[in-house]
Structure 1
């Protein structure tokens, strides 16, 4: 069974993200077509990108980056839960994405966003970022308004349309994650060969 990581992309205090991510996890886990696991960036603190070379050139010298890579590597696809900050995604989420490379390649990604306008501008930026990393972003997404979908702007109250949209996105995500498995096998073998070559030379 494929494994899907649900990445909670905000670490600010009093964030609304955990309510949304928990709803995604609970709804997704009841489907039975994949294993779903929450990845909270608050549990994986990373400094501002401090690598000497680009992540595509091999394993990092830093333990925090290697630990993050090991956390992400086992998953076949991802749901990114993101707020919208100033018409884009949170810097901490971009930083976490930038820390690694091979662990993202040939994996599918879907988006659940929230904000005053549903977080759609954050998703537009993330789509272009994920595309450069060789990820397949599915077209369906879930957009949540903090103005109308949160009681008193603090308590998330998902409606039927949100659940329907989530299932539609997960249908695509699980199908694409499964279809990309042969490519991940090839890319993984090539990455391991390149890593061994860099060690021996």
Structure 2
């Protein structure tokens, strides 16, 4: 079995976003492990309108060309790490919109999160875990939470995320868990495919 392919999804598209810093940091940590293939996927590259399809892609093919390209990209991966900005106690609209534009492409794949904001994006991440369950994903118990005090030091005082040992430790735990689930679920999906092909 090949190494699981993991997407680091940049969950904000604002011109002044902070998201690039945690995305690059967690991608570098994931690559350094050697047990993942890692790609940063930027929602800026998939400018989808607010969801306007006749139905979820579970029930009817999407018509929007960018949405179709997005679904194809999501399907490439065996697991996901999502950067999460918390807006008004929830995830960004652009991230939720991107989640809604796919369905089967998310199924039976693990996801973890790197949140930031007042409480480290915890409230937004909890909502995203619920969305992940509905999409038949395996949301990890473990995540990285860059709380406000750390966030300000990184944003305004020249600190780097890797300067904070508690964040490095949280990332290591989250990546260990993601690796386990990614390998197990990748094998299970491959086994299911073999059974399906044999029955045809």
- State the TM-score, normalizing by the size of structure 2: 0.89
Which 5+ residue runs of structure 2 have no aligned equivalent? none
Distance 1:81 1:187, change over 3 A: farther
Greater displacement, 176-185 / 6-15:
176-185
Q: What aligned pairs does 1:181-192 form with structure 2 within 5 A after superposition?
A: 181-185=186-190
Shift of 1:13: 1.7
Distance 1:11 1:5, change over 3 A: same
Shift of 1:50: 1.2
Q: What is the aligned partner in structure 2 of residue 197 from structure 1?
A: none
CA deviation map 1:153-182 (0-9, x unaligned)? 345522111111101101110110111124
Q: What is the aligned partner in structure 1 of residue 27 from structure 2?
A: 25
Matched, 1:169 2:174: yes
Q: Distance in 2 between matches of 1:168 and 1:186?
A: 28
Q: Distance in 1 between matches of 2:47 and 2:194?
A: 29
Distance 1:116 1:102, change over 3 A: same
Shift of 1:34: 0.7
Q: What aligned pairs does 1:12-161 form with structure 2 within 5 A after superposition?
A: 12-151=14-153, 153-154=155-156, 155=158, 157-158=160-161, 159-161=164-166
CA deviation map 1:10-48 (0-9, x unaligned)? 011211110111111111111101111101111111100
Q: What aligned pairs does 1:190-201 form with structure 2 within 5 A after superposition?
A: none
Contact persistence 2:7–2:80 (CA under 8 A): yes
The count of aligned residue pairs is: 192
Q: Distance in 1 between matches of 2:123 and 2:196?
A: 33
Contact persistence 2:86–2:116 (CA under 8 A): yes
CA deviation map 1:94-138 (0-9, x unaligned)? 000000101000000001100021110000000000000000011
Contact persistence 2:116–2:151 (CA under 8 A): no
Higher strand residue share? 1
Q: Distance in 1 between matches of 2:195 and 2:153?
A: 50
RMSD: 2.1
Shift of 1:191: 10
Structure 1 segments, 4+ long, off by >6 Å, are 186-192
Q: Distance in 2 between matches of 1:78 and 1:152?
A: 24
Contact persistence 1:149–1:156 (CA under 8 A): no
Shift of 1:188: 6.3
Which 5+ residue runs of structure 1 have no aligned equivalent? 193-201
Secondary structure at 2:58 match in 1: helix
